[in-house]
């Protein structure tokens, strides 16, 4: 059913398309209007499944219409909005449909030379009544002396699963079995009981039969007696009956306790001493794995049916710390620096090394650097295009073609620019490509004569540049979820990994060569290559995905562990948190390690997050993560071995560095954008002060005064 509602214009202070939410161009505003009466109207209310029409206009402070294009987004997974972009008149008649409940937003954004203009319309969608509860894989045969966790799915009348509901579990016979406050059922004696799950006035019941427990002891062992912080231990525990027969269906509960080891160096007697201190911290899972965050003596315990067994393990510090020392720095003091790329020279410049950096909220420039002598890096050429921001810069594998993205062009042709970089001292523009990219290109990637370009934060287009002077689109990849958007795409081995905010990471075959079972057995492998071989740049085929429950998937990097042969996709967050009473915002976020070894059942196993700052772009080389961390500088992280739990707390951080410069656009402040390891050095671009080269060196021992 379609409705026309009365709507009022509201500015949103919520994040839009991954960008800081406030409007930077205060000379313009968005007006939301009734499509027939053409005046600003009241707020909009819709029921789930209903549609409405809205007219959106971009106007100046006098109310005059601004002729330009702008982007339109419904709220992710909640509001469908079509079209997703206005025409060149600066007006869009938009049909919206509600798919979820809550206080939602219809959003619009235009990017120009003076920055972005942001507007939002609040849409109120009431909750739908609940319909039913179902138990998830319920256990109906239980054993005395054990505890069983029950969970349910709750559906409303729109057949949607409702989360974060307060479910009450009860047992009809507490003498047989009773629930605690967390849905755990403790079995007290043989018999039957009916367990019931209730939410609001919806009820579901299940009969549970409690049996006498045949367990008589637990056999428990661990794989190691001494490990480092961050090393994962496998817990081997089985429940045995009186004849030492293994009982497969008896649940085991794992727990740990520990005391931290405080290690100090006694320089006078040239030896180290240890003392047992505060409780140690770590993580234990109920599928039988343990990892320690702090050094200490840990007691690991397996319990079941009134029996228990324990083992002790000593955990020592990981001791991976090094330091980063500056090799070279090229200051940029007049504009903000965006992303970077580093590559080896070709032709007459073979043997030399070069870099390119973009500029942000500036005047459409990209700088080319000679970094052959990193201690004396220098800008050797500049390309200027019609843009406010050159957000992304990439160079082809053969070192001959470059591409830079454009946002905020005066003519609204926010496409991309293709460059001849064969001679980095004399870079030239080969061509522009703006076809259907006027909403802005935020990120790009070059792979095998194709550019993968984000279009208006909505999809990525695949553009053939086998002849760079005559580029043409051959394909595109776009999600079909409500309010979908995209921030980044990365391509390796013919597999594209895109970062799609709350829709998470999508893995797409764009020309991958199918990997044989023989090569899988002999070598480390990307499991997606076992499915590849049908996709191409002109026919991208989805191979897998994993949603991001936090909604902040900003960047993704495939990682094949050299030490475990597991295949991960490391996804990075990005979101901004306002500082009360100040226009300043703090970026907070980290990295999620998604184990895709079983691509049908990807699981998040670990995180790395610096508590006080947020992540941006990242890179992996070997078993090491290199991360740009905004105000936290660059971070180098040991990601060897099995990954589980909080990597930051486990002491896996190898080094960090904050590059400050009194001559930067913001003096003595770091704000790292991107990082690339290259030929034994680490290059990074700092928004506030340009290009850096640093190297890892071993920590030097410190003496006493």
- 517 pLDDT band (50/70/90 cuts)? low
Across 378-398, average pLDDT: 96
Residue for token pair 């950096």: 357
Checking if the pLDDT of 111 tops 90, the result is: no
Check for a shared fold between 2-125 and 130-211: yes
Return the higher-pLDDT residue of 652 and 481. 652
pLDDT of residue 577: 67
Indicate the CATH number for domain 2-125. 2.60.40.10
- What is the separation of C-alpha 227 from the centre of its chain, rounded to a whole number of angstroms? 30
Distance between CA atoms of residues 12 and 20, nearest Å: 11
Q: Which stretch of DSSP H or E encloses residue 447?
A: strand 444-447
For the chain, state the CA radius of gyration: 29
Query: Is residue 517 within a helix (H) or strand (E), and if so which, with residue range?
Result: helix 517-522
User: What's the mean per-residue pLDDT of the chain?
Assistant: 89
Residue 265: pLDDT band with limits 50, 70, 90: very low
Between the ranges 478-482, 522-526, 590-594, where is the mean pLDDT highest?
590-594
- Ordered by start, the domain boundaries in the chain are 2-125, 130-211, 217-316, 322-698
Please tell me the predicted confidence (pLDDT) of residue 26.
79
pLDDT at 266 over 50: no
Segment among 40-54, 252-266, 286-300 with least mean pLDDT: 252-266
**CA-to-CA distance for 323 and 311, rounded, in angstroms?**
36
Residue 366 has pLDDT above 60, yes or no: yes
pLDDT for 16 equals 33
573 strand-pairing partners: 553
| DSSP notation for 582-593 | SS-EEE---EEE
Least reliable range by pLDDT among 159-168, 276-285, 385-394? 276-285
Check residue 84 and report its DSSP letter.
S
What does DSSP say about strands 51-60 and 141-143: parallel, antiparallel, or unpaired? unpaired
pLDDT for 273: 46
- Name the one residue in this structure whose structure tokens are 């427990």: 213
Residues 295-329: tens digit of each pLDDT: 999 999 999 999 999 999 999 999 999 999 999 99
**Considering the domain 322-698 in this protein, what is its CATH number?**
2.130.10.10
**CA–CA dist 690, 356 (Å, integer):** 11
Q: For residue 519, what is the enclosing H or E element?
A: helix 517-522
The Cα 444–Cα 392 span in angstroms is: 6
What are 138-156's pLDDT values in tens digits?
A: 999 999 999 999 999 999 9
Residue for token digits 């428990």?
A: 220
> pTM to 2 decimals?
0.88
Looking at the DSSP bridge assignments, the partners of residue 368 are 356, 381
Q: Judge whether residue 59 has pLDDT over 60.
A: yes
The hierarchical CATH code for the domain 217-316 is: 2.60.40.1080
* Alpha carbon distance 681, 225 (integer Å): 37
Strand partners, 191: 210
Q: What is the CATH number of domain 130-211?
A: 2.60.40.1080
pLDDT at 35 > cutoff 90? no
> Collapsing DSSP states into helix, strand and coil, what is residue 501?
helix
Pairing mode, strands 2-3 and 51-60: parallel
């Amino acid at each position: 059913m379609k409705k026309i509602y009365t709507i009022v214009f509201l500015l949103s202070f919520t994040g839009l398309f991954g960008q800081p939410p406030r409007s930077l161009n205060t000379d313009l505003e968005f007006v939301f209007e009734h499509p027939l009466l053409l005046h600003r109207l009241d707020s909009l209310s819709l029921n789930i499944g209903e549609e409405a029409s809205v007219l959106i206009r971009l106007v100046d402070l006098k109310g005059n219409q601004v002729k330009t294009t702008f982007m339109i987004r419904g709220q992710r997974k909640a509001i469908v909005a079509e079209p997703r972009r206005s025409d060149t008149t600066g007006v869009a008649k938009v049909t919206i449909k509600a798919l979820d409940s809550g206080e939602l937003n219809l959003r619009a954004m235009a990017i120009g030379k003076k920055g972005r203009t942001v507007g939002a319309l609040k849409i109120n969608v009431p909750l739908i009544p609940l319909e039913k509860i179902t138990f998830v894989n319920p256990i109906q045969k239980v054993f005395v002396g054990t505890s069983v966790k029950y969970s349910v799915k709750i559906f409303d009348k729109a057949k949607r699963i409702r989360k974060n509901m307060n479910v009450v579990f009860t047992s009809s016979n507490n003498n047989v079995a009773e629930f605690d406050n967390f849905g755990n059922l403790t079995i007290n004696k043989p018999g039957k009981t009916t367990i019931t799950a209730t939410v609001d006035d919806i009820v579901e019941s299940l009969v549970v039969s409690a049996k006498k427990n045949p367990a008589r002891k637990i056999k428990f062992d661990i794989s190691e007696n001494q490990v480092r912080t961050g090393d994962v231990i496998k817990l081997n525990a089985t429940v045995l009956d009186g004849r030492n027969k293994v009982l497969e269906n008896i649940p085991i509960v794992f727990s740990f306790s520990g005391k931290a080891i405080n290690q100090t160096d006694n320089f006078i007697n040239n030896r180290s001493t240890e003392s047992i201190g505060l409780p140690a911290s770590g993580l234990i899972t109920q599928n039988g794995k343990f990892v320690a965050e702090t050094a200490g003596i840990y007691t690991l315990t397996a319990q079941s049916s009134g029996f228990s067994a324990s083992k002790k393990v000593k955990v020592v510090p990981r001791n991976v710390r090094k330091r980063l020392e500056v090799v070279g720095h090229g200051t940029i003091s007049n504009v903000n620096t965006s992303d970077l790329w580093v590559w080896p020279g070709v032709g007459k410049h073979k043997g030399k090394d070069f870099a390119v950096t973009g500029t942000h909220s500036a005047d459409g420039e990209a700088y080319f650097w000679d970094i052959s002598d990193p201690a004396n890096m220098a800008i050797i050429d500049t390309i200027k295009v019609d843009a406010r921001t050159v957000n992304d810069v990439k160079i082809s594998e053969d070192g001959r073609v470059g591409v830079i993205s454009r946002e905020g062009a005066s003519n609204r042709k926010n496409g991309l620019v293709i460059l001849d970089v064969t001679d980095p001292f004399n870079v030239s523009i080969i061509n522009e490509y703006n076809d259907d990219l006027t909403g802005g290109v935020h990120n790009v990637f070059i792979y095998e004569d194709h550019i993968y370009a984000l279009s208006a934060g909505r999809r990525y287009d695949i553009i053939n540049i086998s002849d760079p002077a005559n580029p043409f689109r051959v394909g595109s990849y776009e999600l079909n979820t409500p309010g979908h958007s995209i921030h980044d795409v990365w391509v390796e081995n013919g597999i594209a990994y895109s970062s799609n905010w709350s829709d998470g990471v999508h893995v797409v075959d764009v020309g991958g060569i199918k990997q044989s079972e023989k090569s899988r057995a002999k070598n480390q492998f990307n499991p997606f290559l076992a499915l590849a071989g049908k996709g191409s740049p002109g026919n991208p085929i989805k191979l897998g995905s994993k949603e991001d429950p936090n909604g902040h998937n900003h960047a993704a990097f495939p990682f094949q562990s050299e030490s475990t042969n597991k295949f991960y996709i490391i996804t990075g967050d990005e979101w901004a948190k306002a500082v009360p009473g100040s226009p300043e915002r703090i970026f907070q976020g980290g990295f999620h390690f998604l184990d895709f070894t079983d691509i049908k059942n990807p699981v998040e196993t670990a995180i790395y997050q610096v508590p006080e700052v947020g992540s941006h772009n990242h890179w992996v080389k070997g078993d090491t993560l290199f991360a740009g961390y905004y105000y936290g500088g660059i971070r180098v992280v040991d990601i060897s071995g099995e990954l589980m739990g909080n990597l930051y707390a486990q002491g896996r951080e190898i080094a960090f560095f904050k590059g400050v410069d009194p001559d930067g656009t913001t003096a003595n402040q770091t704000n790292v954008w991107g990082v690339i390891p290259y030929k034994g050095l680490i290059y990074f671009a700092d928004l506030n002060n340009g290009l850096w080269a640093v190297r890892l060196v071993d920590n030097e021992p410190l003496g006493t005064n």
